[in-house]
Structure 1
Amino acid sequence: MGWRTALDDWLDSERAQVPLWSPVAFGLGITLYFMLPWESQRLAAVVAALGVAGAGTIVRGSAGRMLVWGGVLVALGIGIAAWRSADVALPVLRDRFEGEINGTVEAVEIRSGRGQVRFQLDPDDPGLPPHVRISLKANVPAGLVPGANVTVRAMLLPPAGPSFPGGYDFARREWFDQLGATGYPLGPTVITRKAPPPAGVEAWLDDLRARLTVRIETVVGGDAGAISAAFVTGDQGGISTATNLAMRYSGMAHLLSISGVHIAIVVGGTMWITRALLALSPWIALRWPLKAISAGAAAVAGIGYTILAGAQVPTVRSCIGTVIVLLGVIMGREALSLRLLAGGGFVIMAVRPEALLGPSFQLKFAAVTGLVALFNSRLGRWLSAPRQNAGWVSRTLQHLAGLLVTGVIAEALLSATALFHFNQTGAYGVFANLLAIPWTSFIVMPLLVLALLLDPLGIAAPAWWALGKSMDALIALAVWVAGWPGSVVRVGLMPITAYALLVGGGLWLFIWQGRARWLGAVPVVIGAVMALTSHPPDLLVSADGHHVAVLLDAYDDEGPRLALLRDRTGDYLRDVWGGVTASTADAAIADLPNADCTVDACVARVGTGRSAIRLLATLSKDRIGQPKFGPACASADIVVSDRRLPAWCNPHWLKLDRTALETSGAVAIWLAGRRVETVGELTGDHPWMPQPRVWRPRAGGASGAGRALRAGRPAEAAPNPDEPTY
């Protein structure tokens, strides 16, 4: 067969690149485990993957071997993710709890920038999860440190699911963090027994981090001190919300978390200083392998910095990748290659498969993979080729071109990931980072190291002053860039299909080396078009039915707007829903021209043309009699309530009361095509949020022309028709 021979010949020509698809197949299996909601679907995926592997034994040749290993790795990825989910399993709170809690403090997180302290507690009550987290905003008692015993009357809530279908799943993160509940105090937190004196290396490190954080924040002051402390200990709690937003909108937010940039600065600086000092001795320079020795010293410095910073997951990932590169330098191998990245990614996914879904993992590997692929290409080799015979102007232009191209590539890859996860990205990140990264590398970090070295000697005041001024300049740059017109690019809810096409096409472009690599541009373009043209949900309903948002069709000079049911909707929900709809949540449903609202309920006409619907939402806890509420239900297309509604409340399309929402979770609705998505359908029976039976809209008879949809409900949760809860 001609096509099979041609395929084998092509794969043979790309033989060096084929192994790079191993972590991709492994990651695909992990993704399938998390994305497929039902266990039956996940088992079917395993069977299908093994079927592909079996088919590879029949096909044979290079294509057959690729099918065999690809199928096995996909099945292995699903299995590893399932094993990890079961391995971290601990009891999770399923219902709201209010009462007195006694327990031992396990960890304390001070978030001074938000005026908040969070502590993790191991309750004495065996009926509660073994690890819960409580947030304090005032009355923080002295002595609230790990090891102390406390008593607090608190409200504990089950781990919260996504605020909209496809959103960030806090319940999943807390499941893998083995956190069973979160809550807030209803009274003072009382220390019943002080913590014993800390002992051991870990306790010493925790104490050192805490003292360093306080020292740096105190001596430098303000946000400059908070960011300086974050560079050393990883504690970002002292950074104000305004500065956080400025860093995010300017594309400089990656500087706040200790990751690749900081590790590279520490490792690169250590390697350069070590080599320069050793080279001062001609005898050593001629006899010792300076490059390998300096790489070893840099590896030790990177590991030490990672431990000092608390060994957070992003820092550890960056450290692992850096150490792999340094090992390549020591062994005389290529310092940075796609093979090293593939190996590092495979190890991380095998140990922590849940990390694959996090934005930190995706942002890091997207940027680094793209840059390595760039400098392995013809353009990259031209940009990095040494030109000893060229003049200084030519060399300077070459370096500037290299910085610009790498900045554009990195920003494009980071922006795609940021738009999927956060629905927004900084438009001028390339420009901001061209200034911010060199400033941080050559000014801020050296001053910070110098100040820390001189501080024990009592002569660090000038260094601290210079550090504060340099950090103020970095913050001023972020504020300046964030204030430019159009500094924030916002995109509504990106379809998972669009993101998959972007990722798949990008990997095809980066991994293959021949002309066939350019076929990857096709899915990238299709994914980009889908992402930019997708319509956000017209209606959003919270998981408790207490909050509703309507995307307005009218656009003003400031862009689309989101009308909310309640004025007291929290800032977090406003931000999340505003992001997923790429709008500003500053309007009210009650103020719409076609709305009629009382203290008990609100009726509004939503949408335009043939897709317009009539929305009915309850507001108060007071009972509304059937003579009034019955006709309102009958004339509504969608009814939303945070209470259980009686059986005689029959809207034309959807009935989203407490009974339905308990299993559906948050709901997103598109009026065109009558499309409905729920958190429950996307989560399925995963252990972090098991659903006994997921609510789905079903077809039913309805008044009016044509078939309409009406909400179904789980039979076991059907309310009493006479239940006075409406």
Structure 2
Amino acid sequence: MQSTLSRCVTEELQYRQDFLFIPVLVGAGAALWFSLASPPSDVVLLVSGLCIIPIAIITRHRQNALSFVLATLALLLLGMLLANWETRRVGTTVLDSAVTTTIIGKVERREVDAKGYWRYTIALTSTSGPSLTRLPNRISVLSRSREQPIAVGAGITGKARLSPPSGPALPGLNDFAFSAYFDGIGATGFFYSAPKALPTQAETTDEAGWLEAAGSGLYALRSAIAERIRSVIGGDAGAFAASIITDERRAISSETMEALRVSGLAHIVAISGLNMALASGIFFVGMRMVFSLFPGFSQRYPVKKIAAFAALLMTFAYYLISGFAVSAERAWLMMSIMLAAVLVNRPSISLRNVALAAIVIIAVSPHEIMGPSFQMSFAATLALVAAYSFWSRWRGNRERLFIARPPLWMVASSKASAVIGGVVITSLIGGVSTAIYSIEHFHRITTYGLAANLAAMPVMSIIVMPSALIAMLLMPFGLDAPFLKLMGYGMAMVIDIANTVSSWGGDATIGRQHSWFLGVSTIGFLLLTLLRTHLALLGLPLILAGLVLVPLEQNRAKPDLLIYEDGVLVAFRTDQFVVTTKRQAKGFVFDQWARAVPLPDTHVAPVMVDDDKAGEREDTASPTPRRPAVLTDQQKQEARDKMILAFERTNGFSCQKNVWCAGRHESGVKVAVISNTALTGTACDLADIVVTSRFVPFSNCRSGALLISATTLRKTGSLELWLNEAGAPVAAARAAMQDVARPWSIHRAYDWRSKTSDGAMPSHIETMLAARP
């Protein structure tokens, strides 16, 4: 046993498989730094790095336990240092609270959605009415006007409603403020009316520098290409076609996107290894075919390397117009390394190339490792390359068994399996390898993804990508329309395949996973794919252990009360149905709840009591929220009487629009959701739990009821509560925000009135959160 283990370790080191774990450990260090509520201080990190990293470099050739431990610690520290440095380098100023103001800035990007609305990414220069003291550098604002869009690089102004990027919809879900922080987006919102263009000042480009000017030019070119494709092809097929070239996805209708997700074809929308490999491969093969028409030239010059260099330039051009998404960045790096390997006569497809691409991305943008795009794209690539390497070794060993030429039947079967089996195996490996991350991030898994990919991949390979490549080459000459049309036909076929497969069902909702699921499963997956000896089998028990956690987590008690961080959307959950304060069970937040908890399919809408004029002035769901109306004593008494009646209804909400909602859970706990601060005291007297979307001057109810105000929700984020009984309503609770001290969440502790930060929670909230489910 000892000799076998030693032999395997020696073989792994002989083939330098240890190099493949460099991005793994650096990435793990970055992920650890981002996950900690309170990471080590800069001084501790820097001193630790200066002490350990040099020693690890000196002892790197000593193959003993000490050098292994030092190398591991050094790489983990390096990842943490890179994450710390990136966070400080980005330094995004995030808006602390929602505000209506007039903005002035410059359009950096723009993208149209399926409704014809334009979303602008704006470099903010100033605001007025009011003027913000903490001005975000960059904002993302939606214009619902269908007027002529404002050009990239032009000035823009208009009255807008701005809000901080939202946090997780529930504990453990995606934190949009995290990704917005590293994208430089400090606020999101919408224009009240069509924005107006401002003349661009001549000195702007000089001050910004050539890099910003080049970036604006690239985004303007990207937008123009996307508009050209959409205008020629039209419909969802045109929007789909534009997405695989420029990565502009918003124009695809929600119905088509859902069909692509359910069928397992959503990966086509992103510019990933598939798109980049097809484009580069077709261009590379096409160049070699052209050279073959000139035998004299082909015999005199290294045409394979010339074609590889030309494909390298084409791949870089593709990346420039792709919007710089992490999937496109990873695909470009991979293809560039593969093509560069051809130039220097090295193997083009290898795990080392994947590791090099991962090292570059982690070094430049460590935060990407936390997102599903990085994890899923690298998981698929790693699994495919590892499978190819294993198959190459197996084929080499098999062919060595034959001294003479292999029999004809073996040659024929090998060619047939390469054509037919290649597509099947590739789709199967890609789907299985990304299943872990689909479950973790999207809480769903597609069961018919293999069938959809088998039908769609030939269309993408034979019709779509060749047509797209030729169209892009001919677009500067205005000769692209016929090939764009052909590309559109292929895109329409893929959409039909997605609609057909999605109609079969097969989209299984899994729910949130155990906190150990992702880590344990990923370690097992990495061992299985990165090691070449029998040691790789050590990954199988870890993957199985991760899968065992799935049913265990599903059998845990589900929360009874869900509260979104805006204090408006609140839901009771039972095993048979879900009751919300919204009339319709739809929307981005509710969809996340439905998949993560998961929620029952049956939705019970609130009973709307007769509305009066008191609530018409305040509509927190409308695009123009206003201050609460002032209620008379009579109106307060009427609201009190209606709430008393509402509490007599079990497992249901009764609501007066934009004023209050009230309901009683089957446990007897009474919950009031208040939108008018004048009724907060009344709700405290009647309910066990009071949720208000407004700021109130007190932290808890004098009656002893639990008060969850806007101030509280800013610090906790969304909440999920396990209810007990009236009098002691909360048995356990969890908050989406564990700490607001990190740079992407510290704006939640800032008070613009006093211009101070206070992240401390009220004592009763800390007590509530201390009771773990």
Question: Is the CA contact (8 Å cut-off) linking 2:109 and 2:219 kept in structure 1?
Answer: no
The answer to whether the aligner puts 1:650 opposite 2:704 as a matched pair is: yes
Other-structure match for 2:34? 34
Assess, with a 3 A threshold, how the Cα gap between structure 1 residues 23 and 674 changes in structure 2: closer, same or farther. farther
Other-structure match for 2:246? 233
Question: Is the CA contact (8 Å cut-off) linking 1:220 and 1:468 kept in structure 2?
Answer: yes
The answer to whether the aligner puts 1:136 opposite 2:161 as a matched pair is: no
AA aligned opposite 2:547: A
Superposition deviation, residue 292 in structure 1: 2.3
CA distance in 1, matches of 2:145, 2:653: 43
Question: Is the CA contact (8 Å cut-off) linking 1:601 and 1:619 kept in structure 2?
Answer: yes
**Of the candidates 722, 745, 748, which is equivalent to residue 689 of structure 1?**
745
Other-structure match for 1:20? 20
Q: How does 1:471-620 map to 2 (within 5 A)?
A: 471-486=491-506, 488-535=507-554, 537-554=559-576, 561-567=577-583, 571-583=587-599, 587-588=603-604, 590=606, 593-595=650-652, 597=654, 599=656, 600-606=660-666, 612=667, 614-620=669-675
Q: How does 1:383-462 map to 2 (within 5 A)?
A: 389-390=408-409, 392=412, 395-397=415-417, 399-452=419-472, 462=482
Assess, with a 3 A threshold, how the Cα gap between structure 1 residues 414 and 699 changes in structure 2: closer, same or farther. closer
Superposition deviation, residue 696 in structure 1: 8.2
AA aligned opposite 1:687: P
Q: Any stretches of 5+ residues in structure 1 without a counterpart?
A: 555-560, 607-611, 701-708, 713-726
Other-structure match for 1:716? none
Superposition deviation, residue 601 in structure 1: 4.1
AA aligned opposite 1:510: T
The answer to whether the aligner puts 1:665 opposite 2:711 as a matched pair is: no
CA distance in 2, matches of 1:336, 1:28: 25
Q: How does 1:268-307 map to 2 (within 5 A)?
A: 268-307=281-320
Question: Is the CA contact (8 Å cut-off) linking 1:80 and 1:350 kept in structure 2?
Answer: yes
Assess, with a 3 A threshold, how the Cα gap between structure 1 residues 648 and 502 changes in structure 2: closer, same or farther. same
SS at match of 1:376: helix
Assess, with a 3 A threshold, how the Cα gap between structure 1 residues 280 and 417 changes in structure 2: closer, same or farther. same
**Of the candidates 660, 668, 676, which is equivalent to residue 621 of structure 1?**
676
Other-structure match for 2:691? 640
Q: Deviations over 1:145-172 (max 9, x none)?
A: 2343333122221222222222222211
AA aligned opposite 2:561: L
Assess, with a 3 A threshold, how the Cα gap between structure 1 residues 228 and 358 changes in structure 2: closer, same or farther. same
SS at match of 2:508: strand
Other-structure match for 2:339? 326
Assess, with a 3 A threshold, how the Cα gap between structure 1 residues 456 and 349 changes in structure 2: closer, same or farther. closer
CA distance in 2, matches of 1:525, 1:674: 33
Assess, with a 3 A threshold, how the Cα gap between structure 1 residues 462 and 399 changes in structure 2: closer, same or farther. closer
**Of the candidates 235, 255, 265, which is equivalent to residue 268 of structure 2?**
255
Question: Is the CA contact (8 Å cut-off) linking 1:55 and 1:64 kept in structure 2?
Answer: no
AA aligned opposite 1:38: S
SS at match of 2:733: strand
Superposition deviation, residue 480 in structure 1: 0.7
CA distance in 2, matches of 1:392, 1:134: 57
Question: Is the CA contact (8 Å cut-off) linking 2:579 and 2:651 kept in structure 1?
Answer: no
Assess, with a 3 A threshold, how the Cα gap between structure 1 residues 190 and 477 changes in structure 2: closer, same or farther. same
Q: How does 1:50-129 map to 2 (within 5 A)?
A: 61-113=63-115, 115-125=117-127, 127-129=133-135
Superposition deviation, residue 368 in structure 1: 0.8
Assess, with a 3 A threshold, how the Cα gap between structure 1 residues 698 and 515 changes in structure 2: closer, same or farther. farther
State which drifts further: 460-469 or 315-324: 460-469
Assess, with a 3 A threshold, how the Cα gap between structure 1 residues 100 and 210 changes in structure 2: closer, same or farther. closer
Question: Is the CA contact (8 Å cut-off) linking 1:152 and 1:190 kept in structure 2?
Answer: yes
Assess, with a 3 A threshold, how the Cα gap between structure 1 residues 242 and 9 changes in structure 2: closer, same or farther. same
CA distance in 2, matches of 1:376, 1:223: 38
AA aligned opposite 2:521: L
Q: Deviations over 1:637-677 (max 9, x none)?
A: x54333446441424xx643334223111113356994432
Superposition deviation, residue 364 in structure 1: 0.9
Q: Deviations over 1:157-193 (max 9, x none)?
A: 1222222222222211121122222222234423343
State which drifts further: 121-130 or 448-457: 448-457
SS at match of 1:14: helix
Assess, with a 3 A threshold, how the Cα gap between structure 1 residues 394 and 677 changes in structure 2: closer, same or farther. same
**Of the candidates 166, 173, 176, which is equivalent to residue 170 of structure 1?**
176
AA aligned opposite 1:435: A
AA aligned opposite 1:156: L
Superposition deviation, residue 689 in structure 1: 0.7
Assess, with a 3 A threshold, how the Cα gap between structure 1 residues 295 and 547 changes in structure 2: closer, same or farther. same
Question: Is the CA contact (8 Å cut-off) linking 2:143 and 2:191 kept in structure 1?
Answer: no
Other-structure match for 1:210? 223
Other-structure match for 2:640? none
Question: Is the CA contact (8 Å cut-off) linking 1:250 and 1:432 kept in structure 2?
Answer: yes
Superposition deviation, residue 21 in structure 1: 1.5
Question: Is the CA contact (8 Å cut-off) linking 2:151 and 2:220 kept in structure 1?
Answer: no
SS at match of 1:267: helix
SS at match of 1:247: helix
Question: Is the CA contact (8 Å cut-off) linking 1:38 and 1:684 kept in structure 2?
Answer: no
Superposition deviation, residue 711 in structure 1: 6.6
Other-structure match for 1:679? 736
AA aligned opposite 2:692: S
Question: Is the CA contact (8 Å cut-off) linking 2:8 and 2:534 kept in structure 1?
Answer: no
SS at match of 1:107: strand
AA aligned opposite 1:507: L
Superposition deviation, residue 294 in structure 1: 2.0
Question: Is the CA contact (8 Å cut-off) linking 2:218 and 2:321 kept in structure 1?
Answer: yes
TM-score of the aligned structures, taking structure 2 as reference length: 0.80
CA distance in 1, matches of 2:534, 2:743: 45
Assess, with a 3 A threshold, how the Cα gap between structure 1 residues 667 and 40 changes in structure 2: closer, same or farther. farther
Other-structure match for 2:628? none
Superposition deviation, residue 271 in structure 1: 1.3
Question: Is the CA contact (8 Å cut-off) linking 1:8 and 1:63 kept in structure 2?
Answer: no
Residues matched between the structures, number: 684
Question: Is the CA contact (8 Å cut-off) linking 1:640 and 1:656 kept in structure 2?
Answer: yes
Assess, with a 3 A threshold, how the Cα gap between structure 1 residues 630 and 245 changes in structure 2: closer, same or farther. closer
Assess, with a 3 A threshold, how the Cα gap between structure 1 residues 564 and 264 changes in structure 2: closer, same or farther. same
Assess, with a 3 A threshold, how the Cα gap between structure 1 residues 605 and 457 changes in structure 2: closer, same or farther. closer
CA distance in 2, matches of 1:194, 1:140: 22
Q: Any stretches of 5+ residues in structure 2 without a counterpart?
A: 400-405, 608-648, 725-729, 750-757
Assess, with a 3 A threshold, how the Cα gap between structure 1 residues 264 and 670 changes in structure 2: closer, same or farther. farther
SS at match of 1:20: helix
SS at match of 1:493: coil
TM-score of the aligned structures, taking structure 1 as reference length: 0.84
Assess, with a 3 A threshold, how the Cα gap between structure 1 residues 443 and 54 changes in structure 2: closer, same or farther. closer
Question: Is the CA contact (8 Å cut-off) linking 1:225 and 1:468 kept in structure 2?
Answer: yes
CA distance in 1, matches of 2:481, 2:187: 45
Superposition deviation, residue 451 in structure 1: 4.1
**Of the candidates 155, 158, 162, which is equivalent to residue 149 of structure 1?**
155
Identity %: 27
